[in-house]
Structure 1
Amino acid sequence: MVGSLVVGALWAMLPAYVPNNAAVVFGGGPPIDGGRTWGGERVLGDGKTWRGTLAGTLAGAAVALLLNLLAPTIGGLVGFALPTFPLRVGVTLAFGAMLGDIVASFLKRRTGRERGAAFPGVDQLDFVVGALGLTALGSPAWFAATFPPPALVVVVVATPLLHVATNAIAYLLGLKDEPW
Protein backbone atom coordinates (compact mmCIF):
# COMPACT_ATOMS: atom_id res chain seq x y z
CA MET A 1 0.00 0.00 0.00
CA VAL A 2 2.74 2.50 0.91
CA GLY A 3 4.73 1.56 -2.18
CA SER A 4 1.73 2.05 -4.45
CA LEU A 5 0.98 5.39 -2.78
CA VAL A 6 4.52 6.69 -3.31
CA VAL A 7 4.90 5.36 -6.85
CA GLY A 8 1.40 6.52 -7.85
CA ALA A 9 1.92 10.03 -6.46
CA LEU A 10 5.29 10.48 -8.14
CA TRP A 11 3.99 8.99 -11.41
CA ALA A 12 1.09 11.46 -11.32
CA MET A 13 3.54 14.35 -10.84
CA LEU A 14 5.82 13.46 -13.77
CA PRO A 15 4.01 15.81 -16.18
CA ALA A 16 4.69 18.60 -13.67
CA TYR A 17 8.30 17.59 -12.99
CA VAL A 18 9.39 17.84 -16.63
CA PRO A 19 8.30 21.35 -17.76
CA ASN A 20 10.84 23.50 -15.94
CA ASN A 21 13.69 21.29 -17.13
CA ALA A 22 12.40 21.47 -20.70
CA ALA A 23 12.13 25.25 -20.40
CA VAL A 24 15.82 25.42 -19.45
CA VAL A 25 16.83 23.30 -22.43
CA PHE A 26 14.46 24.74 -25.07
CA GLY A 27 13.83 28.23 -23.68
CA GLY A 28 15.32 31.55 -24.58
CA GLY A 29 13.95 34.32 -26.71
CA PRO A 30 11.84 37.27 -25.62
CA PRO A 31 11.10 37.45 -21.90
CA ILE A 32 7.48 37.35 -20.79
CA ASP A 33 7.81 40.68 -19.00
CA GLY A 34 9.22 42.37 -22.11
CA GLY A 35 11.93 43.97 -19.96
CA ARG A 36 9.39 45.87 -17.84
CA THR A 37 10.21 46.87 -14.29
CA TRP A 38 8.15 47.37 -11.17
CA GLY A 39 9.56 49.26 -8.22
CA GLY A 40 12.93 49.46 -9.95
CA GLU A 41 13.22 45.68 -10.41
CA ARG A 42 12.34 43.51 -13.38
CA VAL A 43 8.84 42.06 -13.15
CA LEU A 44 10.10 38.52 -13.89
CA GLY A 45 13.51 38.69 -15.53
CA ASP A 46 15.12 37.24 -18.63
CA GLY A 47 14.80 33.65 -17.41
CA LYS A 48 11.03 33.52 -17.95
CA THR A 49 10.38 33.42 -21.68
CA TRP A 50 7.43 32.72 -23.92
CA ARG A 51 9.35 29.98 -25.74
CA GLY A 52 10.41 28.30 -22.49
CA THR A 53 6.86 28.41 -21.13
CA LEU A 54 5.44 26.92 -24.31
CA ALA A 55 8.19 24.30 -24.57
CA GLY A 56 7.75 23.31 -20.93
CA THR A 57 3.99 23.03 -21.24
CA LEU A 58 4.22 20.96 -24.41
CA ALA A 59 6.89 18.71 -22.91
CA GLY A 60 4.84 18.06 -19.77
CA ALA A 61 1.69 17.34 -21.77
CA ALA A 62 3.67 14.99 -24.03
CA VAL A 63 4.97 13.16 -20.95
CA ALA A 64 1.37 12.72 -19.77
CA LEU A 65 0.40 11.19 -23.11
CA LEU A 66 3.43 8.90 -23.05
CA LEU A 67 2.61 7.80 -19.50
CA ASN A 68 -0.91 6.92 -20.67
CA LEU A 69 0.65 4.52 -23.16
CA LEU A 70 3.04 3.06 -20.57
CA ALA A 71 0.61 2.82 -17.63
CA PRO A 72 -0.85 -0.61 -18.45
CA THR A 73 2.58 -2.21 -18.93
CA ILE A 74 4.28 -0.53 -15.97
CA GLY A 75 1.19 -1.09 -13.83
CA GLY A 76 1.39 -4.79 -14.65
CA LEU A 77 5.04 -4.87 -13.64
CA VAL A 78 4.51 -3.12 -10.30
CA GLY A 79 1.24 -4.92 -9.56
CA PHE A 80 -1.15 -1.98 -9.31
CA ALA A 81 -2.89 0.50 -11.58
CA LEU A 82 -1.11 3.76 -12.26
CA PRO A 83 -2.90 7.05 -12.88
CA THR A 84 -3.65 8.05 -16.45
CA PHE A 85 -4.07 11.59 -17.67
CA PRO A 86 -6.94 13.12 -19.62
CA LEU A 87 -5.44 15.70 -22.00
CA ARG A 88 -6.76 18.57 -19.88
CA VAL A 89 -4.94 17.17 -16.84
CA GLY A 90 -1.68 16.77 -18.73
CA VAL A 91 -1.88 20.39 -19.81
CA THR A 92 -2.91 21.77 -16.40
CA LEU A 93 -0.17 19.88 -14.59
CA ALA A 94 2.45 21.12 -17.06
CA PHE A 95 1.21 24.70 -17.48
CA GLY A 96 0.50 24.96 -13.75
CA ALA A 97 4.11 23.99 -13.05
CA MET A 98 5.26 26.77 -15.38
CA LEU A 99 2.89 29.27 -13.74
CA GLY A 100 4.13 28.33 -10.29
CA ASP A 101 7.69 28.99 -11.39
CA ILE A 102 6.69 32.32 -12.95
CA VAL A 103 4.98 33.40 -9.71
CA ALA A 104 8.11 32.42 -7.78
CA SER A 105 10.20 34.55 -10.12
CA PHE A 106 7.85 37.47 -9.48
CA LEU A 107 8.21 36.93 -5.71
CA LYS A 108 12.00 36.73 -6.02
CA ARG A 109 12.10 40.10 -7.76
CA ARG A 110 9.80 41.64 -5.14
CA THR A 111 12.07 40.40 -2.35
CA GLY A 112 15.20 41.77 -4.04
CA ARG A 113 16.61 38.42 -5.12
CA GLU A 114 18.50 38.27 -8.39
CA ARG A 115 17.88 35.71 -11.10
CA GLY A 116 19.23 32.37 -9.93
CA ALA A 117 19.41 33.39 -6.26
CA ALA A 118 18.28 30.72 -3.84
CA PHE A 119 14.80 31.03 -2.34
CA PRO A 120 14.61 27.99 -0.04
CA GLY A 121 11.26 26.27 0.04
CA VAL A 122 9.82 28.38 -2.76
CA ASP A 123 12.36 27.09 -5.29
CA GLN A 124 11.47 23.50 -4.50
CA LEU A 125 7.68 23.73 -4.27
CA ASP A 126 6.57 26.65 -6.46
CA PHE A 127 5.83 24.47 -9.46
CA VAL A 128 4.09 21.87 -7.28
CA VAL A 129 1.67 24.46 -5.93
CA GLY A 130 1.01 25.79 -9.44
CA ALA A 131 0.56 22.35 -10.99
CA LEU A 132 -1.67 20.96 -8.26
CA GLY A 133 -3.66 24.18 -7.87
CA LEU A 134 -4.43 24.55 -11.58
CA THR A 135 -5.24 20.85 -11.90
CA ALA A 136 -7.52 20.91 -8.85
CA LEU A 137 -9.40 23.82 -10.42
CA GLY A 138 -9.54 22.31 -13.91
CA SER A 139 -10.22 18.67 -13.05
CA PRO A 140 -11.38 18.44 -9.43
CA ALA A 141 -12.65 14.82 -9.63
CA TRP A 142 -9.38 13.54 -11.18
CA PHE A 143 -7.38 15.54 -8.66
CA ALA A 144 -9.32 14.21 -5.65
CA ALA A 145 -9.04 10.61 -6.86
CA THR A 146 -5.33 10.89 -7.68
CA PHE A 147 -4.08 13.05 -4.83
CA PRO A 148 -5.73 12.09 -1.55
CA PRO A 149 -4.02 13.74 1.45
CA PRO A 150 -1.39 10.99 1.94
CA ALA A 151 -0.35 11.33 -1.73
CA LEU A 152 -0.02 15.09 -1.28
CA VAL A 153 2.30 14.47 1.68
CA VAL A 154 4.43 12.19 -0.50
CA VAL A 155 4.66 14.89 -3.17
CA VAL A 156 5.53 17.66 -0.72
CA VAL A 157 8.23 15.57 0.97
CA ALA A 158 9.75 13.87 -2.08
CA THR A 159 9.68 16.81 -4.49
CA PRO A 160 12.29 18.98 -2.76
CA LEU A 161 14.67 16.02 -2.68
CA LEU A 162 14.11 15.28 -6.37
CA HIS A 163 14.33 18.98 -7.23
CA VAL A 164 17.70 19.44 -5.55
CA ALA A 165 19.06 16.29 -7.22
CA THR A 166 17.91 17.21 -10.74
CA ASN A 167 19.15 20.78 -10.41
CA ALA A 168 22.55 19.55 -9.26
CA ILE A 169 22.71 17.27 -12.31
CA ALA A 170 21.69 20.13 -14.64
CA TYR A 171 24.39 22.30 -13.06
CA LEU A 172 27.03 19.60 -13.52
CA LEU A 173 25.97 19.22 -17.17
CA GLY A 174 26.34 22.97 -17.68
CA LEU A 175 22.61 23.51 -18.27
CA LYS A 176 22.19 25.74 -15.22
CA ASP A 177 24.36 28.49 -13.78
CA GLU A 178 23.64 27.51 -10.18
CA PRO A 179 23.03 24.15 -8.52
CA TRP A 180 19.63 24.99 -6.98
Structure 2
Amino acid sequence: MTKGLLTIADALLLARILALLLIANGAPVLATRLLAGRLAMPLDGGSTFFDGRRLFGAAKTARGVVASILCTSLAASLLGMGWGLGAILAASALMGDLFASFSKRRLGLAVHARAFGLDQIPESLLPLLVLQARLHLGAVDIVVLTVAFVLLETLLSVLLYRLKIRDRPY
Protein backbone atom coordinates (compact mmCIF):
# COMPACT_ATOMS: atom_id res chain seq x y z
CA MET A 1 0.00 0.00 0.00
CA THR A 2 0.99 3.59 -0.17
CA LYS A 3 2.80 5.37 2.60
CA GLY A 4 0.52 8.22 3.52
CA LEU A 5 -3.02 8.83 2.39
CA LEU A 6 -5.07 5.84 1.34
CA THR A 7 -5.93 6.02 -2.34
CA ILE A 8 -9.20 4.78 -3.81
CA ALA A 9 -7.29 1.93 -5.45
CA ASP A 10 -5.79 0.95 -2.08
CA ALA A 11 -9.20 1.08 -0.39
CA LEU A 12 -10.71 -1.08 -3.13
CA LEU A 13 -7.91 -3.62 -2.79
CA LEU A 14 -8.42 -3.78 0.98
CA ALA A 15 -12.17 -4.25 0.42
CA ARG A 16 -11.54 -7.11 -2.04
CA ILE A 17 -9.12 -8.79 0.38
CA LEU A 18 -11.64 -8.45 3.20
CA ALA A 19 -14.36 -9.93 0.98
CA LEU A 20 -12.12 -12.90 0.18
CA LEU A 21 -11.41 -13.47 3.88
CA LEU A 22 -15.13 -13.47 4.61
CA ILE A 23 -15.81 -15.88 1.73
CA ALA A 24 -12.99 -18.22 2.75
CA ASN A 25 -14.35 -18.44 6.26
CA GLY A 26 -18.06 -18.35 5.38
CA ALA A 27 -18.12 -20.92 2.58
CA PRO A 28 -17.81 -23.92 4.95
CA VAL A 29 -20.80 -22.65 6.96
CA LEU A 30 -22.93 -22.34 3.84
CA ALA A 31 -21.74 -25.71 2.53
CA THR A 32 -22.78 -27.32 5.80
CA ARG A 33 -26.27 -25.88 5.41
CA LEU A 34 -26.57 -26.77 1.71
CA LEU A 35 -25.00 -30.22 1.78
CA ALA A 36 -26.21 -31.33 5.22
CA GLY A 37 -24.30 -34.51 6.13
CA ARG A 38 -22.76 -35.12 2.69
CA LEU A 39 -18.95 -34.95 2.51
CA ALA A 40 -18.82 -34.36 6.26
CA MET A 41 -15.68 -36.42 6.80
CA PRO A 42 -13.75 -34.90 9.70
CA LEU A 43 -10.24 -33.82 8.75
CA ASP A 44 -8.80 -35.41 11.87
CA GLY A 45 -10.50 -38.72 11.12
CA GLY A 46 -11.45 -38.94 14.79
CA SER A 47 -7.78 -38.93 15.86
CA THR A 48 -6.85 -37.72 19.29
CA PHE A 49 -3.80 -35.88 20.59
CA PHE A 50 -1.65 -36.90 23.57
CA ASP A 51 -4.17 -35.29 25.90
CA GLY A 52 -6.91 -37.66 24.68
CA ARG A 53 -8.88 -34.88 23.01
CA ARG A 54 -9.69 -34.73 19.30
CA LEU A 55 -7.14 -32.93 17.13
CA PHE A 56 -9.71 -30.55 15.61
CA GLY A 57 -13.18 -31.96 16.19
CA ALA A 58 -15.99 -33.14 13.95
CA ALA A 59 -16.82 -29.65 12.65
CA LYS A 60 -13.63 -29.38 10.57
CA THR A 61 -14.48 -31.36 7.44
CA ALA A 62 -13.33 -32.09 3.92
CA ARG A 63 -16.57 -30.44 2.78
CA GLY A 64 -15.48 -27.17 4.40
CA VAL A 65 -12.02 -27.29 2.85
CA VAL A 66 -13.38 -27.93 -0.65
CA ALA A 67 -16.08 -25.26 -0.29
CA SER A 68 -13.65 -22.66 1.00
CA ILE A 69 -10.99 -23.21 -1.64
CA LEU A 70 -13.46 -23.42 -4.54
CA CYS A 71 -15.56 -20.42 -3.54
CA THR A 72 -12.60 -18.21 -2.64
CA SER A 73 -10.73 -19.14 -5.83
CA LEU A 74 -13.79 -18.33 -7.92
CA ALA A 75 -14.40 -15.05 -6.08
CA ALA A 76 -10.76 -13.99 -6.40
CA SER A 77 -10.88 -14.70 -10.11
CA LEU A 78 -14.08 -12.67 -10.50
CA LEU A 79 -12.49 -9.83 -8.52
CA GLY A 80 -9.51 -9.80 -10.89
CA MET A 81 -7.07 -11.16 -8.31
CA GLY A 82 -6.54 -14.60 -9.84
CA TRP A 83 -7.81 -17.98 -8.71
CA GLY A 84 -4.38 -18.96 -7.38
CA LEU A 85 -4.35 -16.08 -4.92
CA GLY A 86 -7.84 -17.12 -3.82
CA ALA A 87 -6.71 -20.71 -3.29
CA ILE A 88 -3.69 -19.60 -1.24
CA LEU A 89 -5.81 -17.22 0.83
CA ALA A 90 -8.42 -19.92 1.50
CA ALA A 91 -5.85 -22.59 2.34
CA SER A 92 -4.03 -20.32 4.77
CA ALA A 93 -7.32 -19.15 6.33
CA LEU A 94 -8.20 -22.81 6.85
CA MET A 95 -4.80 -23.43 8.44
CA GLY A 96 -5.47 -20.54 10.82
CA ASP A 97 -8.90 -21.97 11.59
CA LEU A 98 -7.41 -25.42 12.25
CA PHE A 99 -4.82 -23.84 14.55
CA ALA A 100 -7.65 -22.15 16.48
CA SER A 101 -9.64 -25.39 16.65
CA PHE A 102 -6.57 -27.34 17.80
CA SER A 103 -5.89 -24.69 20.46
CA LYS A 104 -9.50 -24.73 21.67
CA ARG A 105 -9.39 -28.53 22.04
CA ARG A 106 -6.18 -28.22 24.11
CA LEU A 107 -7.93 -25.64 26.30
CA GLY A 108 -10.74 -28.13 26.87
CA LEU A 109 -13.34 -26.07 25.01
CA ALA A 110 -16.14 -27.97 23.31
CA VAL A 111 -16.63 -27.99 19.55
CA HIS A 112 -18.42 -24.75 18.61
CA ALA A 113 -17.54 -23.14 21.96
CA ARG A 114 -16.98 -19.41 21.63
CA ALA A 115 -13.50 -18.02 22.10
CA PHE A 116 -13.62 -14.41 20.92
CA GLY A 117 -10.40 -13.50 19.14
CA LEU A 118 -9.19 -17.07 18.87
CA ASP A 119 -12.16 -17.79 16.62
CA GLN A 120 -11.33 -14.93 14.23
CA ILE A 121 -7.74 -13.73 14.41
CA PRO A 122 -5.78 -16.78 13.17
CA GLU A 123 -8.07 -17.31 10.18
CA SER A 124 -7.63 -13.71 9.06
CA LEU A 125 -4.08 -12.93 10.20
CA LEU A 126 -2.36 -16.00 8.74
CA PRO A 127 -3.53 -15.44 5.13
CA LEU A 128 -2.61 -11.76 5.38
CA LEU A 129 0.90 -12.64 6.54
CA VAL A 130 1.27 -15.33 3.87
CA LEU A 131 0.16 -12.93 1.12
CA GLN A 132 1.73 -9.79 2.59
CA ALA A 133 4.45 -9.39 -0.05
CA ARG A 134 2.27 -10.46 -2.97
CA LEU A 135 -0.45 -7.97 -2.01
CA HIS A 136 2.01 -5.25 -0.90
CA LEU A 137 0.44 -5.04 2.55
CA GLY A 138 2.04 -3.01 5.30
CA ALA A 139 1.69 -3.66 9.02
CA VAL A 140 -1.10 -1.08 9.32
CA ASP A 141 -3.00 -2.72 6.44
CA ILE A 142 -2.76 -6.09 8.17
CA VAL A 143 -3.97 -4.70 11.50
CA VAL A 144 -6.86 -2.82 9.85
CA LEU A 145 -7.92 -5.87 7.84
CA THR A 146 -7.71 -8.18 10.85
CA VAL A 147 -9.77 -5.84 13.04
CA ALA A 148 -12.29 -5.30 10.24
CA PHE A 149 -12.56 -9.06 9.74
CA VAL A 150 -13.13 -9.71 13.45
CA LEU A 151 -15.88 -7.09 13.58
CA LEU A 152 -17.59 -8.09 10.34
CA GLU A 153 -17.33 -11.81 10.99
CA THR A 154 -18.88 -11.33 14.42
CA LEU A 155 -21.76 -9.27 12.99
CA LEU A 156 -22.31 -11.60 10.04
CA SER A 157 -22.33 -14.60 12.35
CA VAL A 158 -25.22 -13.11 14.32
CA LEU A 159 -27.05 -12.32 11.07
CA LEU A 160 -26.53 -15.85 9.73
CA TYR A 161 -27.79 -17.24 13.02
CA ARG A 162 -30.95 -15.11 12.84
CA LEU A 163 -31.47 -16.29 9.25
CA LYS A 164 -31.13 -19.87 10.55
CA ILE A 165 -28.08 -20.53 8.36
CA ARG A 166 -25.81 -20.94 11.39
CA ASP A 167 -26.67 -23.12 14.37
CA ARG A 168 -25.25 -20.61 16.84
CA PRO A 169 -23.90 -17.07 16.72
CA TYR A 170 -20.17 -16.60 17.28
TM-score (norm 1): 0.79
* Structure 1 position 14, deviation (Å): 1.9
Q: Distance in 2 between matches of 1:94 and 1:156?
A: 15
For residue 32 of structure 1, the aligned residue among 32, 36, 43 is: 43
Question: Is 2:20–2:75's contact at 8 Å kept on the other side of the alignment?
Answer: yes
Q: Which residue of 2 aligns with 1:80?
A: none
The equivalent position to 1:108 in structure 2, one of 71, 80, 104, is: 104
Which residue, 22, 28, 32 being the options, matches 2:27?
A: 22
In the TM superposition, 1:86-97 aligns within 5 A as 86-97=82-93
Structure ranking higher in helix proportion: 1
Q: CA deviation at 1:163?
A: 1.0
Residues 47-81 of structure 1 show CA distances to partners (whole Å, capped at 9, x for unaligned) of: 0001111111111111101111xxxxxxxxxxxxx
1:65 aligns with 2:63: no
Contact 1:36 1:42 in 2 (8 A): yes
Aligned to 1:48: 60
| Distance (Å, rounded) in 2 between the aligned partners of 1:36 and 1:131 | 26
Q: Secondary structure at the match of 1:115?
A: coil
How many pairs does the alignment contain? 158
What TM-score, normalized to structure 2?
0.84
Spell out, residue by residue over 1:139-170, the C-alpha distance to the aligned partner (whole angstroms, 9 max, x if none): x3x23x2x122322321221111011111111
Question: Which residue in the other structure is 1:172 paired with?
Answer: 162
**Is residue 31–residue 45 contact of structure 1 (8 Å, CA) maintained in 2?**
yes
Distance 1:171 1:164 in 2: 11
User: Take 2:93 and 2:29, find their aligned partners in 1: how far apart are those partners?
Assistant: 13
Counterpart AA for 2:20: P
Aligned to 2:144: 154
The unaligned stretches of length 5 or more in structure 2 are none
**127-136 vs 30-39, which moves further:** 127-136
5+ residue gaps, structure 1: 69-84
AA of the residue aligned to 1:54: V
Q: Please provide the CA RMSD for this pair.
A: 1.8
The sequence identity of aligned pairs, in percent, is 31
